[in-house]
Amino acid sequence: MAKRKDIAVIGYGETKVTLKGGRSSYDLAGKVLEQILNQTGIDKNKIDGLSIAETMSETSNPFWGVYMSEMLGLSPHWMQLNGLGGTSGIGGIARAAAAIRDGLCETVFVVASDAQSSGRNPEQGAQRGEFQYPTGLRGPVGAFGLITQRYRHQYGLDDRALAKLAVTQRNHALMNPNAVDKLQKPLTEADYLNSKYVSEPLRMLDSVMVCDGANGVLVTSTENAKKLGAKKMIHPVGYGEISNFKGAEPLADITISGFSVAGPKALKQAEMTPKDVRMIMPYDDFLIALIITLEDIGFCPKGKGCEFVMNTDLSYKGTLPLNTSGGQISAGQPGLAGGGLNLVEGVRQMFGEAGARQVSDPRNCMVTGIGVIPYGRNWGVSGVLVLEQS
């Protein structure tokens, strides 16, 4: 498929990430909507599409999306619920683009909102009751413990590279007023290395802290964006996604992710190679995921992710700025709205509105999403979005 710039992202919004903030997912989403309307000056009634992420806090309500419309006073002609975990935000943009191109709607509010740390966790069921819970695997932390151990065995793992990622992201979070207060303190390599094991070899500082928060973007056709008088716009030019990567192969290598499929697909559509990527906002539930993501998308050969991290300036001033708002690991993970945190930062950077942490020449940005912990394999969903200026 040839590269197109017929779809535009024209606004973004984000709440501060809070720990047990006590506000509902609806309330948080309302905050994001108001920000976007103020920022773009667009009338609420122009929004005729709603793409919404599934949550931990509200997903037990099977009508969550329609309730959200009611809460926000929207009457969408097209609605999409994305249960893709951290891929729901970028997946929402891709789906909105398809719906707009197909004439189902014109202007879509792509929102993710979750009050996970204030709310309840729904039971995921399936095989977990019989074949996971009795072992005591500590959920995502345990699953990433298994991935990390296997990675270490196959390729070696340089703890200094993980420490560098932790410190780089924390330094970015210290410049982000929306980051959760609890993590607003400097971090050193020694802090990371001395962090206690939760599911060895996985450390506490490898992991996200579950919080509350919401984020979203406004998506429309480039043509309509001009009609609406959009002040700023950027374009989704490449997208790749895969769920249940190698799901029918009982002996698939758990160190290889779906990014090995989704990354090249998104880049090809965007007519880019990894060298062309100006900055990257990769989904970071655990630091090892960043290493695997960089390798599988093709920034470096498999097994060389730590070397790549050690040899690359990933700060906002660097050659490949990474998670410049701190990532989820240092800004806090707003539940299943977590994937939108790095997405919104990508849009903010490309709009030139990142303040003290602004990346120079923000000509494009890659955003990734990871979702869902499967049984004994790599993660469940991998998505890659490439954004570019007009």
Subset of 226-265 contacting another protein (CB under 8 A): 247-248, 250-251, 254
Interaction between residue 177 and another protein (CB under 8 A): no
Cα 334 vs. chain centroid, distance in angstroms? Answer: 11
Interaction between residue 150 and another protein (CB under 8 A): yes
Interaction between residue 194 and another protein (CB under 8 A): no
Q: How far apart are CA 260 and CA 154, in angstroms?
A: 17
From the CB of 344, what's the least distance to another protein, in Å? 20
Q: How far apart are CA 205 and CA 196, in angstroms?
A: 8
Interaction between residue 216 and another protein (CB under 8 A): no
Q: Which of 122, 142, 274, 298 binds another protein (CB under 8 A)?
A: 142
- Listed in sequence order, the residues at least 6 apart from 48 whose beta carbon sits closer than 8 Å to its beta carbon are 75, 76, 77, 78, 105, 106, 107, 108
CA angle 104, 110, 111 (to 5 degrees): 140
- HSE-up (13 A, CA, CB side) for residue 344: 36
Phi then psi dihedrals of residue 29, to 5 deg: -65, -35
The smaller minimum CB distance to another protein, of residues 162 and 202, is found at 202
Burial class of residue 213 in the structure, from the number of CB atoms within 10 Å of its CB (0-12 exposed, 13-18 middle, 19+ buried)? buried
The smaller minimum CB distance to another protein, of residues 102 and 250, is found at 250
Interaction between residue 273 and another protein (CB under 8 A): no
Interaction between residue 73 and another protein (CB under 8 A): no
Q: How many CB atoms lie under 10 A from the CB of residue 141? A: 18
The smaller minimum CB distance to another protein, of residues 23 and 232, is found at 23
Interaction between residue 132 and another protein (CB under 8 A): yes
Interaction between residue 153 and another protein (CB under 8 A): yes
The smaller minimum CB distance to another protein, of residues 249 and 361, is found at 249
From the CB of 5, what's the least distance to another protein, in Å? 37
Tokens representing 232 are 């700023």
Interface region with another protein, contact rule CB under 8 A, candidates 72-80, 105-113, 140-148, 214-222: 140-148
CA angle 195, 115, 377 (to 5 degrees): 55
Q: Which of 75, 127, 194, 273 binds another protein (CB under 8 A)?
A: 127
Interaction between residue 62 and another protein (CB under 8 A): no
Cβ distance 39 to 99 under 8 Å?
A: no
Interface region with another protein, contact rule CB under 8 A, candidates 129-137, 162-170, 220-228, 282-290: 129-137
Q: How far, in Å, are 109, 125, 207, 277, 321 from residue 287 at the CA level?
A: 30, 27, 7, 20, 16
Q: How far apart are CA 177 and CA 187, in angstroms?
A: 17
Interaction between residue 125 and another protein (CB under 8 A): yes
Give the type of residue at 131. Answer: F
The smaller minimum CB distance to another protein, of residues 145 and 371, is found at 145
From the CB of 120, what's the least distance to another protein, in Å? 8
From the CB of 38, what's the least distance to another protein, in Å? 13
For the chain, the farthest-separated pair of C-alpha atoms sits apart, in whole angstroms, at 58
The smaller minimum CB distance to another protein, of residues 21 and 76, is found at 21
Q: Which residues bind another protein (CB under 8 A)?
A: 20-24, 27, 31, 115, 118-120, 125-127, 129-139, 141-142, 145-150, 153, 196-202, 247-248, 250-251, 254, 375-376
